[in-house]
């Protein structure tokens, strides 16, 4: 079994656990931090969409929205996936090629799940498919069935410099507090460099 197959198996098992399905951090940002996003959006993508709830919320607001997740067939809420399979793609983020650019990307509580040696490749893909992005990164351990889900635990400084190296453009760190996780979650807004 190669690395990606092992990761797919790990996350398929994690998404089968109802406790793992409770949070949708991208949707929380959309609902509670509207200033992070442009006032008018016509296209958006949730990079590491998990349950798919943010995509559904965007669609309800007439935004052309899609989601990608390593195992979307396991992560996306079943009723949503069955009703709208065309909204979701299963892919490792470093391999994701949508063939287009979206106005907005959200990558919330995803980058820490990526092995450190693959983070830059993922950031290059985000840069290629988004004009701007909101990125939320957790810096605390998480495990499922004894296996680490957060292999890349790094400081805010490391993430800021890595985001700039991988994305270019303008990376803006913002204040963010998650209850019980003071100083352990980092929020960034990124804008592509002007053409």
The token duo for 34 is 């509207």
What pLDDT sits at residue 1?
A: 53
Mean pLDDT, rounded, for 9-21: 92
Contact partners, residue 188, CB within 8 Å, separation at least 6: 134, 135, 136, 137, 159, 160, 163, 171, 172, 173, 174
Which residue reads 């009703």 in tokens?
Answer: 83
Mean pLDDT of the region 69-95: 97
* pLDDT category of residue 4 using cuts at 50, 70 and 90: confident
Partnered with residue 105 across adjacent β-strands are: 45, 133
Lowest mean pLDDT among 71-75, 100-104, 107-111, 182-186: 182-186
Going by pLDDT thresholds of 50, 70 and 90, the confidence category of residue 5 is: confident
Residue 183 banded pLDDT, cuts 50, 70, 90: confident
Average pLDDT over residues 36-43: 97
Residue 39 has pLDDT above 70, yes or no: yes
How many distinct structural domains can be found in the chain? 1
- Domain hosting 52: range is 3-191
What pLDDT score was predicted for residue 195? 52
The tens digit of pLDDT for each residue in 125-175 reads 999 999 999 999 999 999 888 889 999 999 999 999 999 999 999 999 999
% the chain with pLDDT above 90: 86
Q: How far is CA 81 from CA 108, 113, 155, in A?
A: 20, 23, 35
**Quick one: pLDDT band at residue 44, thresholds 50, 70, 90?**
very high
Write the CATH number for 65.
Answer: 3.40.50.150
Confidence of residue 66 (pLDDT cuts 50, 70, 90): very high
Which residues are within 8 A (CB) of 88 and not within 5 positions of it... i.e. 6 or more apart? 49, 52, 55, 66, 67, 68, 69, 72, 76, 81
């Amino acid at each position: 079994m190669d690395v990606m197959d092992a990761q797919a198996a790990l996350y398929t098992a994690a998404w089968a656990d109802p406790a793992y399905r409770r949070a949708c951090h991208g949707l929380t940002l959309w609902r509670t931090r509207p200033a992070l996003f442009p006032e008018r959006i016509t296209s958006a993508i949730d990079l590491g969409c998990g349950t798919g709830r943010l995509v559904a919320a965007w669609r309800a607001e007439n935004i052309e929205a899609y989601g990608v997740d390593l195992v979307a067939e396991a992560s996306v809420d079943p009723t949503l996936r069955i009703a709208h399979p065309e909204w979701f793609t299963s892919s490792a983020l470093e391999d994701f090629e949508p063939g287009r650019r979206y106005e907005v990307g959200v990558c919330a509580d995803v980058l820490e799940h990526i092995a450190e040696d693959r983070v830059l490749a993922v950031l290059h893909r985000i840069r290629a498919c988004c004009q701007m992005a909101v990125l939320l990164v957790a810096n605390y351990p998480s495990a499922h069935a004894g296996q680490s889900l957060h292999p890349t635990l790094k400081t805010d400084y490391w993430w800021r410099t890595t985001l700039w190296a991988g994305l270019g453009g303008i990376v803006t760190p913002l204040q963010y507090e998650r209850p019980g996780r003071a100083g352990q979650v980092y929020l960034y807004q990124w804008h592509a460099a002007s053409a």
